[in-house]
Structure 1
């Protein structure tokens, strides 16, 4: 025992040297070693650092199923995790190898390790029965041998049974019979004839000894009963029967029939067959012996994988007295049949794969096995068709599942990879296993808006903070890669950052106004909205939002003539008492900063000293006499003219005109009539001049129209031959036009057209082209600033043209104003330079030869009228 303890300590502290074969690491340890015993420094042998044990998640898996080993994470050593019994694992196999698979991740690698379990002498020889009874006739001749039961030792090699000894006896001795496979069977040899009368019973002790150190033994008692007479033993025809049986042989079939003969006669020659008393119960449950015929019958299915070779001892006894028995052995070789389905095992569970993983990325480690032998145990793996994965063989039926094609999570987020294992048997057997592989998302899809651009229509004077519109974008990715935030890209609107106009909710894309909009200052602007995901790196896309401001009737008509700034709130006019019905007294002109229907202006005579004397044109604002002036009419007439727009609600203003009726004012028409009475020669010359002037004007007008048409087609916004325009063209970023003043001539009467836009736009420069027929060579213009209004512009124009009277007429002179509704405004927006929308407000100022305050018609106007009458006559 002391020697045995010392041997155990030696095995515990000194692990057998490891060897490496075919690139695999092998260790050797004795069985029954204590838990925690070190097998070897696994990390060092695999070339791994101690940090790699945790970082790469090193783990050990056993192909045997039981986890006998583990890894010490602190030292990287392979230690024994559980009790190892070699006999339970490998039985009587010559070699007992435990195959281990060491798996490391990042990258995923597989290492194969073999641990050889060495046998120690931990089992004693054991006989099947404690006693063996033999009956030997006293007439038995010396030298006859009687087979004895062999002892079984679960140890292997030198630790198994090596020899037998027999207790001292003068009649018996022990001999060893050599069998095939280097096996020996003890036989009891009769040294001299027995004498029943001297000793009828002989008790012997048979001892079996193993080859271990220290030696272990097992004993059985042999009791020999001496019999009389029957002196012939049954003899088998063959001492050894060799048969081969397929493992799928049918239950109940006869495997072999043994036969023995006895030279005796009568009862002494009748033979009964049976299995030897030492036959294990496991064999008795599979085979049955017909005691009369010697047939061995199959009771249960054979299994090549459990036992490929079976040996049974058969005894033939006669019925004489004393009984005599003969012995033989039956050796059954089990032939393998392809009756085991291949098995697919996961060495490592599949880890999620990024959709941008390169080809050849290891997804999982797989192994296959088949319990059959030969071709029946050769296994081949294959994948189902149309799979972006493939199998890469490594060693000993181990495979790596790798990527073989480009992955796209947006098309397929997960795969159920079906693997089929097929052996090479006939017929072949196969099995299937499905591996679930998840594809992790990569930020490879930018957000996409529902529209590339949006048109938003907003009424002016809205409540600050109100929602204008909600844009929406979607992302095909998932998780953070699909989480979208919205923002507005910085840009300028009238030299001001767009962020001062609108704000966007970064979560839902709702756009809110920062303040109230004024159509007269800003008609349209654009917003660049960006949708960005939360991926790394993040992806984004843009959409354009066009915001159109819809006009509301929020401006009161402004009277620009009579000029209240220059003349106060009261306009003084003079007219002759000799004026007839239809005489033009003056003209009231007003403008409205609104647009469309809201800027349509109408005039109405609200109050008058004598309402029967004057009338006001509803659309032009011209004040004319309704009848001739009577002598009893008051010399001072006061008119209150109401000016209203066409918006809802209606906005209005008033202008007061004071008219002084005077006698003795010269009537230019009288002079004109007097001159018409001049000689016909002069009249003919005037007629010729008139025809030439009309022809020249017509040709000039046609040429001007053609030039303007060509320029409009080319997108150039140039004015006519006599124009006043800005030096710089308007663009989309500043679509609101300021005042555009156009001076036209119509004979001796000059017209200055003022096209109104945004009062707050930047200052602009103009050029002037004066008619050669103008009476005045000097014409002064100003550059309106962002705070200049219509009245200021007109007051300056009025001051620059002395001795002239200004009247204004609306550029829109349609008698039937169009229907006012929001849809019409939206349709107008679509005619903008970007969307073909919005036009400016037009005001026409008329200057030149015009009736003087005294009421007398200017000679130039009188002459023009007579020329027109003459033209009609001709």
Structure 2
């Protein structure tokens, strides 16, 4: 190739960018980038700067990873400069054959973001093929009688190049007898004709050798030649004549072999052998066959329009004398829709994230149909209802994009069928199946299998035991679906939460860190969280309520009768005239447990006279079973067992001391004269203590009387009593803070001095004294003496507030009264409250009053029969909204418990002055 050709090639290699970038927001260039280069360029030659034409900067080339998507590696892209380089031999004739325009279309793929760019490289023809004849020589017979001007069609040469580089001219070696004429066919190709310039003389020269040369239009031109051997034959006056010089016929492709195309016919006016015509043709390959006798042309194999669209055959008719005639047969092949479209998928994404927005590019689809016209026009679509669609990108190029939101949890993968259909009649179609895998994202929060959780745990559970298990599931994959559990909130103290419960992060099992106590903690609530491992992580909360069930782990506690701090025990007095059913006393007990575990029953374990008393099974009330007889003992002892309803049951015992007497004076001699085993050493110590105490008391009394007489000379001496300061020792009775003129309250307790080893050393009066009765106080010798008439005015310097009688507003009716340790309406079987909360509140109130009774400043009643509630809640407090636990509180000296109307339980009012409570000087053993 000369310097001019090289300059022209370099000029023509400049990229031809017909379209410009329409918009920065376009996903791809709609028109391809065009380049024009000559064929047979050396490997590594630069086609054009693709990166520059795509407006990529040199800095973004490494990240964009520009590459070529082409079936055969004709080109490559330089990673450093972005130039499009020749990668392999470009033979236009091998790639495109005789096509007038030869172009390679492919896609340039860029990543980050993924995009496609259409590139069209037109390959120009260079004159690299010389014209070539099929035979090195061929023979031609011409009769000597042939007239000048006769023309003979010669063999044509073939040139693989196109346009100017293809065959352009034929030349004949110089010969005075012959000349050459170039003629054109319908398709524009040329063929040579030999013209006889003058008559031949076989006798002078019977054989002529000519050289036929074919020239192309290249620069420099290339040529090919063949030897033409002309034999001069004897004269034959008439040559064969074809009916048509040119036969034209249209033949559909894919006709079966043996199909008749046409029949050529020639005539000869000669006779005999000179009129016998034999047909032949030079070169029609193996596609057609010619009957030499009939001139019928038939197909020998299947004709494919996609290979050759037109055939031109020269048929020769020769008579017996050697004269020939020629005609041209032009066969046009008609295209049939015999090729299905071909679908090619390129740059397919391996994984599509489920959160991809609609319109996300997935793959590039190329379709191709070898047919022509409407038979080669292809439409592409997707089969079925899938969340994808196909968008036409350019001619025979489509984009596969997402059409709507994806959900991997519903469909993890899609089998997409791409169907390509041409517009032939009938249309042909083909399909391509691809599998699209959907990638997971963390778009699902864990879901608990139960909402909310409710767990029952019995108290006294072993520490570390599993009490519950929560479970949540997450349909995501991998870390997005791995769930861990934790406690995020609780109604327990935050610092104490870890000491109560913990949860396994992997399994969701909730463990108790300690043994629960129903009496301290009835229930608590946790808020558990299930959290996945995604980024960002998603979580769900659930409520877990733990109810601590009660077990029978608390024995009943006897509130009355109870031992005093000094070890003494109370005793109750019963009138001798008490009738059967008389209420003597009541055993009061509570149980810290709940439900049936706190349902108490009372049983007599030991009794000095079992037939004399009856004990309420549920109330704990001790009543007389029969009237007192003359032969019955005055003093009795009952050992009562209080048992709860648990399994197994727990119990406690209480000892009751009962004395039958009509007045306190009858009781005191019996107490002092009761036989007690004597200990000489103990009696000596006792007398010493009594003597010392008596001397001290007498001295204090003398001092007090002297001071009082000086301070109040006009005071009446008859008003002095046990309530004057210094009159009694430390064991003397304590004056109630709310006492003033009038009678003592019925619940006030009188005290006596310690009597050594006597059986009783304290006396408590629980009945209200009448105005005519004397208040007794013991002196140092243990003898009782009157304190004075309560009707007389006292000379005590302190003003005492009278105590109000018991308030009846707080009392409940029998139907309203729950039955913790007593029963309603005297029912011995007892009725357990339906509401456990009311029962537990009842027990809490009893325990609160019991704690008041346990201190030194409060008795069982705590004032006016309120069991300490007046001191706790004030004088205006009433019990109209809390369970009535005072059914276990009785008024000594009466035969009924506290009810709406006194005496309703027994039906009669007890005799006055009965039911005195006393205190034993000896601690009774259970």
Q: Name the residue aligned to 1:747.
A: none
Secondary structure at 2:543's aligned position in 1?
A: strand
Q: Which moved more, 1:339-348 or 1:303-312?
A: 339-348
CA distance in 1, matches of 2:862, 2:422: 118
CA contact (8 A) 2:841 2:883 kept: no
- Distance change >3 Å, CA 495–CA 795, structure 1 → 2: farther
1:16 pairs, out of 13, 16, 25, with 13
SS at match of 1:20: coil
**Secondary structure of 1:598's partner?**
helix
Map residues 780-799 of structure 1 onto 2, 5 A cutoff.
Answer: 792-796=851-855, 799=858
- Say which SS state the counterpart of residue 292 (structure 1) adopts: coil
- Match of residue 315 from structure 1: 316
CA distance in 2, matches of 1:805, 1:566: 22
Residue of structure 1 aligned with 2:93, choices 87, 93, 104: 87
Alignment partner, residue 691 of structure 1: none
Q: 1:285 to 1:794 in 2, by over 3 A?
A: farther
List aligned pairs for 1:514-553, cutoff 5 A. Answer: 514-553=513-552
Distance (Å, rounded) in 2 between the aligned partners of 1:332 and 1:737: 113
CA contact (8 A) 1:589 1:807 kept: no
Match of residue 38, structure 2, among 30, 45, 55: 30
TM-score of the two chains, using structure 2 as the length reference:
0.69
Distance 2:375 2:420 in 1: 12
C-alpha contact (below 8 Å) 2:469/2:508 kept by paired residues: yes
Aligned to 2:291: 290
Could you list the per-position Cα deviations for residues 450-501 of structure 1 after superposition, in whole angstroms to 9, with x for gaps in the alignment? 3322221111111112111222233444444433332222122267654442
Deviation at 1:638, TM superposition (A): 5.5
Return the alpha-carbon distance in structure 2 between the equivalents of residues 865 and 275 of structure 1.
150
3-state secondary structure, aligned to 2:852: helix
**Does the 8 Å contact 2:355/2:405 carry over to 1?**
yes
Structure 2 residue corresponding to 1:258, chosen from 257, 261, 264 = 264
Q: For the Cα contact (< 8 Å) 1:756–1:840, is it kept in 2?
A: no
Deviations 1:827-859 (A, max 9, x none): xxxxxxxxxxxx9998547668524xxxx999x
Change (3 A) 1:375 1:332: same
Matched, 1:47 2:46: no
Return closer, same or farther for 1:756/1:43 CA change in 2, 3 Å cut-off: farther
- Secondary structure in structure 1 of the residue aligned to 2:858: helix
Deviation at 1:797, TM superposition (A): 8.4
SS at match of 2:77: strand
* 1:660 positional shift: 6.7
Whether contact under 8 Å (2:560, 2:589) holds in the other structure is: yes
* Equivalence for 1:571: 569
Change beyond 3 A, Cα 1:51–1:800: farther
Is this contact kept in 2: 1:350–1:435, CA < 8 A? no
Q: Deviations over 1:67-121 (max 9, x none)?
A: 3222222322222222111111122222211111223455553322110111122
1:153 to 147, 155, 159: 159
CA 1:595–1:318: 2 relative to 1, 3 Å: same
- Alignment match, 2:228: 222
> For 1:755, which of 830, 833, 845 is the aligned residue?
845
Aligned positions of 1:768-779 closer than 5 A: none
SS, match of residue 17 in structure 2 = strand
Q: Structure 1 length as normaliser, TM-score?
A: 0.73
Summarize the alignment of residues 460-499 of structure 1 with structure 2, pairs less than 5 Å apart: 460-493=459-492, 498-499=497-498
Q: Describe the superposition over 1:534-554 as per-residue Cα deviations: whole angstroms up to 9, x where unpaired.
A: 444443333222211111111
CA distance in 2, matches of 1:157, 1:866: 136
SS of the residue corresponding to residue 88 of structure 1 reads: helix
Q: CA distance change for structure 1 residues 554 and 857 in 2, over 3 Å: closer, same or farther? A: closer
Which blocks of at least 5 consecutive residues in structure 2 are unaligned?
20-30, 667-765, 774-806, 818-835, 868-880, 911-926
More strand, by proportion? 1
Question: Would you say the 8 A contact 2:853–2:862 is kept in 1?
Answer: no
Between stretches 45-54 and 308-317, larger displacement belongs to 45-54
Q: In structure 1, what is the equivalent of residue 792 of structure 2?
A: none
Describe the superposition over 1:291-314 as per-residue Cα deviations: whole angstroms up to 9, x where unpaired: 112121123332222222211111
d(CA) in 2 for partners of 1:397, 1:849: 110
Matches within 5 A, 1:260-659: 260-276=266-282, 279=283, 283-320=284-321, 323-349=322-348, 352-384=351-383, 386-493=385-492, 498-564=497-563, 566-568=565-567, 571-573=569-571, 575=573, 578=576, 586-607=585-606, 616-623=615-622, 639-657=638-656
Question: 2:379 touches 2:421 (CA, 8 Å); kept in 1?
Answer: yes
* 265-274 vs 169-178, which moves further: 169-178
- The 2-side partners of 1:266 and 1:256 are apart by 27
Which has the higher mean CA deviation after the structures are superposed, 367-376 or 197-206?
197-206
Q: Deviations over 1:18-39 (max 9, x none)?
A: 1123443111122122222221
Q: Is the 8 A contact 2:588 2:888 kept in 1?
A: no
Measured against aligned partners, the alpha-carbon deviations of 1:743-795 in whole angstroms (never above 9, x if no partner) come to xxxxxxxxxx86358xxxxxxxxxxxxxxxxxxxxxxxxxx7xxxxx753331
Residue 850 (str. 1) matches residue 892 (str. 2): yes
Question: Contact 1:490/1:499 (CA < 8 Å) preserved in 2?
Answer: no
Deviations 1:213-254 (A, max 9, x none): 444332322233333333543332322222222225454332
Contact 1:523 1:549 (8 Å CA) reproduced: yes
State the 1:272 CA deviation. Answer: 0.6
Q: 1:97 aligns with which of 92, 100, 103?
A: 103
Counterpart Cα distance in 2 of 1:495 and 1:558:
34
Q: Closer, same or farther in 2 for the Cα pair 1:705/1:78, shift >3 Å?
A: farther
CA distance in 2, matches of 1:325, 1:436: 67
Q: Deviation string for 1:26-66 (max 9, x for gaps)?
A: 1112212222222111122112345655645544234xx43
Q: Taking structure 1 as reference, are residues 559 and 12 closer, same or farther at Cα in structure 2, changes over 3 Å only?
A: farther
Equivalent of residue 132 in structure 2, options 126, 131, 140: 126
Alignment root-mean-square deviation, CA: 4.4
Q: Structure 1 residue 113 and structure 2 residue 119: aligned?
A: yes
* Contact 2:582/2:895 (8 A) holds in 1: no
- Shift of the 449–498 alpha-carbon distance from structure 1 to 2, 3 Å rule, reads same
Query: Which sections of structure 1, spanning at least 5 residues, go unmatched?
Result: 676-695, 709-734, 742-752, 758-783, 785-789, 809-838
Q: CA deviation at 1:382?
A: 3.8
Three-state SS of the structure 1 residue aligned to 2:41 is: coil
Residue equivalent to 1:732? none
Aligned residues: 731
Say whether the 8 Å CA contact 1:595–1:840 is kept in structure 2: no
Q: Does the residue aligned with 2:14 lie in a helix, a strand or coil?
A: strand
Sort the Cα spacing of 1:124 and 1:739 in 2 relative to 1 into closer, same or farther, 3 A: closer
Query: Paired residue for 1:78, among 66, 84, 104?
Result: 84
What is the aligned partner in structure 2 of residue 688 from structure 1? none
> Structure 1 residue 574: deviation in Å?
5.4
Equivalent position SS for 1:529:
strand
Map of 2:800 onto structure 1:
none
**Contact 2:574 / 2:658 at 8 angstroms: preserved in 1?**
no
Secondary structure of 1:21's match?
Answer: coil
2-structure distance, mates of 1:148, 1:8: 34
Q: Provide, for residues 165-192 of structure 1, a one-character-per-residue CA deviation record: whole Å limited to 9, x for no partner.
A: 4445455454434544544323444455
Deviations 1:400-436 (A, max 9, x none): 3334444444444444444443333333333344444
Q: Is the 8 A contact 1:15 1:38 kept in 2?
A: no
Q: In 2, distance between residues paired with 1:739 and 1:176?
A: 128
